């Protein structure tokens, strides 16, 4: 494959192999190979040089060509380099036009005042003058430039005096200091020559260059069928080449603002794909050695000629291009895994009919949407800042046209994730470099600042530490939550497809909980990164689709940048108080765990002071008697540092206590305190934990005590590190923390409910889980609008053969299921696989769901690496059977649903419990009984429903029978479902045996009746005939056995149908599956309103029980009390009447209580 303009072709087999190479993930091993393969593939798609050059020539010679418009065209990005190959074209018109378009394109961001192309002695020249377009005319200076084509770079020394003479002959006098003009030299021989020779030629003419005010000399060397070479020789460097600008178009350095990077970074240029983009690896300048190396920043800098950048689609396209460049650069082995990333884009097309403030507001809105849509990539690529410089067409104070440069920034540098801001720029009239950045916005005062690219501040350093352990800086989770909330709203609005609905404003706010002087938590604020405590918490208010006016949630998080996120006494106290704050208010509490367990330490100030009393000083190996302190050292210590007794050498140390609180057992006491608090919190409020990075020791116990756990793939939960275990075992058994507590351990064993790939996905899962939960304990369920009609039929129908129960709940692409489309989510999928549990919505009402796997599943028990004889065990589990793990899972899910305030649908389809010796030893009885315990204590409606072709038998019926909790539980069944003690095939073996079947044959079969009659007639008369008849009877019985077994089975089956279940009162109603959605929606809505009223009545009058409250409600209700829909309508139309009744009951209860107290008082 010949050159970068695509000459030649790649065979298909080689092409496929190269594509495979581009997908290799390990950048340390394959990074350079992957990038090289990608470049070859990319270059192969570029049209041939001859085709492209001819197309450009035709454009230039077109009679209707507008050179200024062509120069500004977004499609000319690659063509601008091609233009240099036309400077020696045979057609003088082509040469002339190519030179003019080249200058207009290179100086696209300036205002060209005049331009003239001429040919002298066979060499092309272009003279032009220009101003900075973003400086008012009364402040702007006129700059001059000359482009001259010379025969070769080797001839520059001889040609330069003549070129400078030509340039200087027409230069006017100027009234400003400093160089401002530019000189472009283009060689025509197409060969690269020594840069040192060019520098020598320029040095020889440096006096003349300075006199002419030449700020930069640019050299372009066109190479046949390849990209031209570019060299820059700035006056500030004595006309020596600036290596950073090598192969960069003349104005790129200015447009990309590379001078801003020099102050704090050593820059190394990395390969870039796009013609108008540059990628740099910036390493912070530091006078001191830095552990792990100086911080790195990957800087993507680009210009854009495409209009429409301030639209959502244009911004998204530009940002994705920047992210693509970042992704390629991350494959470079020079870039470390913690490198920050920053993107800068200079948009050159002028924006008309919009003010700077309007553009800034638009940018803020667009960034909110882009953060939501591209959050995963932004986080993965560690993007900490996005800068966009736009040019707004306006007029100066004299009415002259001028460009107002506006900088739009989304930055995480101050802590909040990609927070947007906007600045108006004030460039220097001579250099064009921005001198000041002045804040834009409604509440912005005249605040202007200098802003060189800063190095790592405290926040950046902390962010790098968090990334190093595979997590996100604690304060950055607030930004992720806001982005996730925007994403949740976008999904909801898209699903509703209602133009009248919109996203509320001020979606998200957070107030930090900070301890005051008395140690109490108060809502306050402080600069991010100034916390000394490794535990932080916030009261977050979010406007969600369920609560448009907002809901409060307490978030508690380890700050892994403070002593590795370990738990000391102060951290324990803060965690306890934040959790207590949530409990006292009945608010959901989310814990973001990234920690190192309980903090350990020693009294370091004693290390250089203690002495050793050896048994034999000459032979230390004989051991020692005690450690001691000299008398002077002992008396110099603060009182209470040690317990010691006096010995001849000084003071023998009995106990080391220290003066610092929080280095030993006191931390364990704190761990016990917060363990108890977490257990209480689970019982009283909604608790959820998200494990990111790692969670060790007490950190692992806390998330388990909170029960509900979302675990990131890079977030092991461990009690002891693998290194410590290896030392204990005396050999290297484990090689990572994941082997002990990674997702492959914690998901199959039911500790983790859900596994996510990264923190953004984790935050989205947190928000989704919260969406099912009421805003406070005792509040009504978190219902939301739904576009899925509740009165539609359920299209997916369970079959008699094994099927996936998830399809029954969520539906398929073609057949809708029980819950609202897209609302169902499964949890605990890796554990107890014979039961499926999850959460979904029915007409917008959140519900817990328990369904039964009908297919064969496998339980995998991993081998123990510490036991050489251990082997992985795979245990098959039959469908429709409760095993120990699935029984525990069912009970655990019911308890979780109860604390979440959810009504529950149990799609019961069990044939019974597994009663084999292995499962009996595996505590099946214990876990099965836990289901009963959980249902007995359930405080919200529970609906047991037998789906089509489902069956509920034996012990599995017992553990979900509504009599366990009659106030809350009720049972329903599809007409095609069955319920009984044994299956028909089993019960006929006991209650309709073979002899009963034979009796039925003789009673019903005419042939057997005739044979029985004949046998009776010849009995005792004709023995031979009797034998023959008996043989015929036996043959007939054998012939009928199959059908009468079916008859017996059918007879037994008829005992298990819904008709008998309804007649015996064990189910309330037979509900056809296809209409179950509508039925249960109205039943659930009615029960929510009814239970809310009942709770208020019982609170108003504690002497009333549930039945009395319902009787009172029934007496008030004018509608048919058995009609769910009618009762709901009554509640809606008579809300005031119902509220008044509650007040009336309370008054009566208070009066009765006063009367009782008076009687009691009178009797004293």
Q: What is the pLDDT of residues 802-838, one digit of tens each?
A: 999 999 999 999 999 999 999 999 999 999 999 999 9
pLDDT band at 455 (very low <50, low <70, confident <90, very high): low
Residues 630-659 have a mean pLDDT of 92
In this model, does residue 509 exceed pLDDT 60?
Answer: yes
Residue entry with tokens 């911004």: 315
Per-residue model confidence as pLDDT tens digits over 538-562: 999 999 999 999 999 999 999 999 9
Residue-wise pLDDT tens digits, 995-1004: 999 999 999 9
957 — phi, psi (to 5°)? -70, -45
How do beta strands 687-691 and 589-593 pair? parallel
- Please name the residues in contact with 604: beta carbons below 8 A apart, sequence gap of 6 or more: none
Render pLDDT for 757-804 as a digit per residue (tens, 0 to 9): 999 999 999 999 999 999 999 899 999 999 999 999 999 999 999 999
Average pLDDT, stretch 65-80? 78
- Smallest CA-to-CA distance from 401 within 158, 179, 113 is with 113
Average pLDDT estimate for 671-686: 96
- Structure letter (DSSP) for residue 135: S
| % of the chain at pLDDT higher than 90 | 53
Cβ atoms of residues 370 and 408 within 8 Å: no
- Among 421-425, 648-652, 724-728, 906-910, the range scoring the smallest mean pLDDT is 724-728
> Which pLDDT tens digit goes with each residue over 217-263?
999 998 888 888 999 999 999 999 998 898 888 998 888 988 888 77
The percentage of residues in the chain with a pLDDT greater than 70, rounded to a whole number, is 95
* Rounded Cα–Cα distance for residues 722 and 52 (Å): 61
Q: How confident is the model at residue 1 (pLDDT cuts 50, 70, 90)?
A: very low
pLDDT band at 731 (very low <50, low <70, confident <90, very high): confident
Residue 2 has pLDDT above 50, yes or no: no
1138 or 567: which carries more pLDDT confidence?
Answer: 567
- Using one digit for the tens of pLDDT, what is the confidence trace for 578-612? 999 999 999 999 999 999 999 988 998 899 999 99
DSSP state of 598: B
Task: Pick the closest to residue 489 from 312, 369, 376, 316 (CA basis).
Answer: 369
Q: In what order do the strands lie in the sheet with 969-973?
A: 825-827, 835-842, 845-852, 904-907, 942-946, 969-973, 1069-1070
Residue 33 CB burial class (10 angstroms; 0-12, 13-18, ≥19): middle
Q: What size, in residues, is the chain?
A: 1164
For residue 1009, the SS3 value is helix
Cα angle value 907/911/912 (rounded, 5°): 105
Spell out a b/e string for 1114-1146, using b for 16 or more CB atoms within 10 Å of the CB, else e.
Answer: eeebebebeebeebbebbeebeeebeebbeebe
Q: Which residues pair with 422 in a beta bridge?
A: 408
Quick one: pLDDT at residue 858?
92
**What are residue 555's DSSP bridge partners?**
538, 590
Q: What is the sign, positive or negative, of the torsion defined by CA atoms of 552, 1084, 960, 1105?
A: positive
Instruction: State yes or no: pLDDT of 56 exceeds 90.
Output: no
Q: Is the pLDDT of residue 1019 over 80?
A: no
Per the confidence metrics, is the pTM higher than 0.75?
A: yes
Structure tokens at 1121: 């009390």
How does residue 903 score in pLDDT terms, banded at 50, 70 and 90? very high
What end-to-end distance do the CA atoms of the chain give, in Å?
Answer: 110
> For residue 739, what pLDDT band results from cuts at 50, 70 and 90?
confident
Read off the DSSP letter of residue 634.
H
Give residue-wise pLDDT tens across range 1047-1057. 999 999 999 99
- Structure-token match 């388990």, residue found: 704
DSSP string of 856-906, one letter each residue: -EEEEE---TT-TT---EEEEE-TTEE-HHHHHHHHHHHHHHHHTT--EEE
Distance CA 168, CA 148 (A): 13
pLDDT-based confidence at 8, cuts 50/70/90? low
What's the pLDDT at 293?
76
d(CA 892, CA 360): 50
pLDDT above 70: residue 456:
no
Cα 10 from Cα 7, distance rounded (Å): 10
pLDDT in tens, 332-372: 888 888 888 999 999 988 898 888 889 999 998 898 888 87
466 and 561 in contact (C-beta within 8 Å)?
yes
Quick count: other Cβ atoms within 10 Å of Cβ 714?
19
pLDDT digits (tens, 9 = 90+) for 155-207: 788 889 989 998 988 788 776 777 889 999 998 877 766 888 899 999 999 99
Whole-number pLDDT of residue 973: 97
pLDDT for the residue numbered 4 = 45
Residue 1119 has pLDDT above 60, yes or no: yes
């Amino acid at each position: 494959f010949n050159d970068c303009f695509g000459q030649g072709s790649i065979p298909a087999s080689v092409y496929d192999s190269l594509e495979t190479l581009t997908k290799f993930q390990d950048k340390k091993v394959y990074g350079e190979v992957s990038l090289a393969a990608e470049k070859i593939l990319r270059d192969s798609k570029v049209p041939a040089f001859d085709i492209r050059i001819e197309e450009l020539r035709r454009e230039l010679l077109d009679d209707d060509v507008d050179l200024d418009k062509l120069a500004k065209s977004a499609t000319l990005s690659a063509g601008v380099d091609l233009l240099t190959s036309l400077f020696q074209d045979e057609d003088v018109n082509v040469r002339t036009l190519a030179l003019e378009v080249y200058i207009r394109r290179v100086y696209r961001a300036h205002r060209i005042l005049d331009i003239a192309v001429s040919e002298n002695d066979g060499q092309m020249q272009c003279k032009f003058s220009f101003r900075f377009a973003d400086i008012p005319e009364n402040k702007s200076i006129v700059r001059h430039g000359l482009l001259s084509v010379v025969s070769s770079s080797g001839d520059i020394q001889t040609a330069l005096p003549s070129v400078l003479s030509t340039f200087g002959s027409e230069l006017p006098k100027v009234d400003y200091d400093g160089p401002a003009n530019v000189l472009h030299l283009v060689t025509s021989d197409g060969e690269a020559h020594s840069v040192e020779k060019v520098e020598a030629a320029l040095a020889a003419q440096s006096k003349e260059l300075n006199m002419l005010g030449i700020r930069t000399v640019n050299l372009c060397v066109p190479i046949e069928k390849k990209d031209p070479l570019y060299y820059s020789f700035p006056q500030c460097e004595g006309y020596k080449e600036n290596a950073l600008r090598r192969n960069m178009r003349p104005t790129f350095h200015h447009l990309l603002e590379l001078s801003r990077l020099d102050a704090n970074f050593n820059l190394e240029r990395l390969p870039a794909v796009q013609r108008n983009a540059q990628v740099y690896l910036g390493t912070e300048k530091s006078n001191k050695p830095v552990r792990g190396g100086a911080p790195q920043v990957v800087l993507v800098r680009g210009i854009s000629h495409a209009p429409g950048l301030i639209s959502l689609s244009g911004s998204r396209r530009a940002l994705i291009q920047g992210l693509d460049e970042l992704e390629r650069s991350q494959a470079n082995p020079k870039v470390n895994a913690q490198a920050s990333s920053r993107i800068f884009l200079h948009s050159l097309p002028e924006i008309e009919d919009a003010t700077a403030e309007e553009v800034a507001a638009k940018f803020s809105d667009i960034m909110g949407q882009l953060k939501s849509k591209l959050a995963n990539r932004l986080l993965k690529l560690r993007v900490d800042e996005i800068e966009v410089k736009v040019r707004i067409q306006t007029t100066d104070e004299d009415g002259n046209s001028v460009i107002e440069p506006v900088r739009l920034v989304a930055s995480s540098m101050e802590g909040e994730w990609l927070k947007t801001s906007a600045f108006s720029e004030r460039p220097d009239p001579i250099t064009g470099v921005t001198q000041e950045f002045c804040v834009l916005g409604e509440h912005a005062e005249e605040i202007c600042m200098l802003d060189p690219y800063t190095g790592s501040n405290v926040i950046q350093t902390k962010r790098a530490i968090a990334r190093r352990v595979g997590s996100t800086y604690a304060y950055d989770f607030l930004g992720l939550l806001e982005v996730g909330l925007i994403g949740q709203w976008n999904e909801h609005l898209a699903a509703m497809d209602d133009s009248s609905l919109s996203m509320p404003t001020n979606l998200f706010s957070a107030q930090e909980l900070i301890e005051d002087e008395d140690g109490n938590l108060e809502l306050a604020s402080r600069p991010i990164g100034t916390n000394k405590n490794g535990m932080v918490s916030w009261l977050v208010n979010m406007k969600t689709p369920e609560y448009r006016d907002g809901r409060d949630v307490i978030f508690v998080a380890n700050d892994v940048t403070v002593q590795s996120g370990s738990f000391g006494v102060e951290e324990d106290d803060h965690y306890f108080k934040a959790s207590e704050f949530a409990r006292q208010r009945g608010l959901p509490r989310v814990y973001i765990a990234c920690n190192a367990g309980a903090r350990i330490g020693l009294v370091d100030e004693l290390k250089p002071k203690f002495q050793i009393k050896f048994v034999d000083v000459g032979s230390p190996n004989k051991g020692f008697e005690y450690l001691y302190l000299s008398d002077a050292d002992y008396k110099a210590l603060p009182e209470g540092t040690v317990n010691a007794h006096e010995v001849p050498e000084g003071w023998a140390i009995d106990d080391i206590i220290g003066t610092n609180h929080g280095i030993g057992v006191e931390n364990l006491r704190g761990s016990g305190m917060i363990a108890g608090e977490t257990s209480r919190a689970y019982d009283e409020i909604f608790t959820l934990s998200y494990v990111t990075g790692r969670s060790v020791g007490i950190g692992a116990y806390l998330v388990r005590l909170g029960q509900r756990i979302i675990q990131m793939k890079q977030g092991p939960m461990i009690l002891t590190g693998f290194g410590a275990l290896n030392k204990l075992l005396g050999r290297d058994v484990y090689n990572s923390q994941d082997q002990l507590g990674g997702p492959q351990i914690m998901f199959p064993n039911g500790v983790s409910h859900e596994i996510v790939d990264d923190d953004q996905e984790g935050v989205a899962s947190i928000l989704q889980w919260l969406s099912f939960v009421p805003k406070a304990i005792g509040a009504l369920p978190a219902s939301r609008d739904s576009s899925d009609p509740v009165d539609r039929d359920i299209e997916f129908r369970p079959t008699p053969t094994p099927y996936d129960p998830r399809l029954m709940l969520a539906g398929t692409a073609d057949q809708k299921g029980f819950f609202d489309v897209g609302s169902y989510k499964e949890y605990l999928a890796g554990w107890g696989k014979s039961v499926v549990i999850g959460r979904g919505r029915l007409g917008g009402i959140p519900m817990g769901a328990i369904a039964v796997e009908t297919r064969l599943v496998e339980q995998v028990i991993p081998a123990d690496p510490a036991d050489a004889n251990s082997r992985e065990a795979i245990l098959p589990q039959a469908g429709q059977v409760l095993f120990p793990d699935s029984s525990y899972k069912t009970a655990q899910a019911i308890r979780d649903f109860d604390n979440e305030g959810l009504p529950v649908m149990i799609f019961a389809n069990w044939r019974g419990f597994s009663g084999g010796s292995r499962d009996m030893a595996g505590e099946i009885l214990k876990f099965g009984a836990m289901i009963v315990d959980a249902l007995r204590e359930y405080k919200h409606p529970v609906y047991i429903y037998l789906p089509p072709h489902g069956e509920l038998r034996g012990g599995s019926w017992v553990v979900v029978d509504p009599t366990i909790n009659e106030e809350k539980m009720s049972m329903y069944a599809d007409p095609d479902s069955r319920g009984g003690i044994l299956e028909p095939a089993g019960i006929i073996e006991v209650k309709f045996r073979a002899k009963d079947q034979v009796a039925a044959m003789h009673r019903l079969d005419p042939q057997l009746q005739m044979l029985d009659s004949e046998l009776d007639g010849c009995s005792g008369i004709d023995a031979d005939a009797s034998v023959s008849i008996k043989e015929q009877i036996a043959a007939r019985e054998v012939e009928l056995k199959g059908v009468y077994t079916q008859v017996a089975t059918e007879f037994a089956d008829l005992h298990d149908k819904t008709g008998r279940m309804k007649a015996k009162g064990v189910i309330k109603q037979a509900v056809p599956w296809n209409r179950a959605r509508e039925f249960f929606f109205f039943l659930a809505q009615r029960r929510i309103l009814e239970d809310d009223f009942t709770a208020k009545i019982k609170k108003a009058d504690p002497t009333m029980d549930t039945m009395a409250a319902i009787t009172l409600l029934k007496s008030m209700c004018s509608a048919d009390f058995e009609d769910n829909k009618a009762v709901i309508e009554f509640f809606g139309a008579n809300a005031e009447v119902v509220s008044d009744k509650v007040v009336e009951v309370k008054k009566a209860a208070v009066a009765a209580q006063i009367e009782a107290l008076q009687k009691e008082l009178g009797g004293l």
